[in-house]
Amino acid sequence: MDLAVARAVVVLSGGQDSATCLALAVKRHGAKNVAAITFRYGQRHALETKFARGLARHFGIVRHKVVSLGFYRQLTTNALMDPAQKIERRKGSVCPTTVVEGRNAFFLLAAAVWAKSFGATEVWTGVSEADYSGYPDCREVFVRSQQRTIRLALDWPVRIVAPFLHKTKAQEWALADRLGIFELVRDRTLTCYNGIPGAGCGTCPACKLRAAGLKAFLSSRRSVAGRTANML
């Protein structure tokens, strides 16, 4: 692959959001112009990396880098990194126990550093504040601020592309459907906090959010199909 032509780096975790984000970037730029980066930060489920690799392969991404942020465990802990912690909302806090403090700040900066190394000016992320889980680094205010900070830090005109910032999970499913990757996202991504692929455990907050979005999308699709059938 000619790295000089790659325009965008997609932060790819192997979940629903980043899979759809990657599909969108590939549709916009073509696979040869897109690179992907996956981070290991001490998460319990190494399977995430396997799913990310599978997605990169599926979309024909030649340049996929898996990077270790091995220092994370030295700084903080949470339910995604420590199996002894319960996945739940915390009393008196908007953030659930699954928050990985500052994760997207590190991810976006690291992705931008890599992007600059081969001349790419876009960093894509699947973060969303629409189905807000209480994660401060999934908000538009953070993304805007981080873009400015990275530009200053690197002296590089990077643009952070966050296409789902104000999209609900149901809208993401609809987009996956339009992109022809509905089954891929449904069956070959890993969103579950308990590390179970596809529909997941069904009980953790990530599974519930994903399932509620899927249900809303499928029922809207059925009602559209019903209206169309009535018109025929």
| Closest-CA residue to 192 (of 128, 98, 125) | 98
Q: Of 81, 201, 212, 218, which one interacts with Zn ion (CB under 5 A)? A: 201
Closest approach, Cβ 137 to Zn ion, in A, equals 21
Q: Of 56, 110, 160, 204, which one interacts with Zn ion (CB under 5 A)? A: 204
Q: Of 79, 138, 190, 192, which one interacts with Zn ion (CB under 5 A)? A: 192
Q: Tokens 């932060």 sit at which residue?
A: 11
Helix ranges (H only) for 30-119 are: 47-58, 72-75, 103-117
Q: How open is the CA angle 164-31-62, to the nearest 5 degrees?
A: 115
Q: Of 76, 77, 121, 194, which one interacts with Zn ion (CB under 5 A)? A: 194
User: Rounded CA gap, 85 and 34, in Å?
Assistant: 37
- Residue 145 or 203: the one with the smaller Cβ distance to Zn ion is 203
- Residue 26 or 80: the one with the smaller Cβ distance to Zn ion is 80
Closest approach, Cβ 202 to Zn ion, in A, equals 6
As given in the structure block, the two tokens for residue 48 are: 């995430």
Closest approach, Cβ 204 to Zn ion, in A, equals 3
Closest approach, Cβ 210 to Zn ion, in A, equals 8
| Closest-CA residue to 50 (of 103, 80, 11, 14) | 14
As given in the structure block, the two tokens for residue 194 are: 């308990």
The per-residue b/e assignment along 112-145, b for 16 or more CB within 10 angstroms, e otherwise, is bbbbbebebebbbbbbbbebebebbbbbeebbee
- Residue 161 or 204: the one with the smaller Cβ distance to Zn ion is 204
Binding residues for Zn ion, rule CB under 5 A, total 6
Q: Of 200, 210, 213, 214, which one interacts with Zn ion (CB under 5 A)? A: 200
- By CB under 5 A, residue 213 contacts Zn ion: no
As given in the structure block, the two tokens for residue 19 are: 């899979």
Closest approach, Cβ 53 to Zn ion, in A, equals 21
Residues that bind Zn ion (CB under 5 A): 192, 194, 200-201, 204, 207
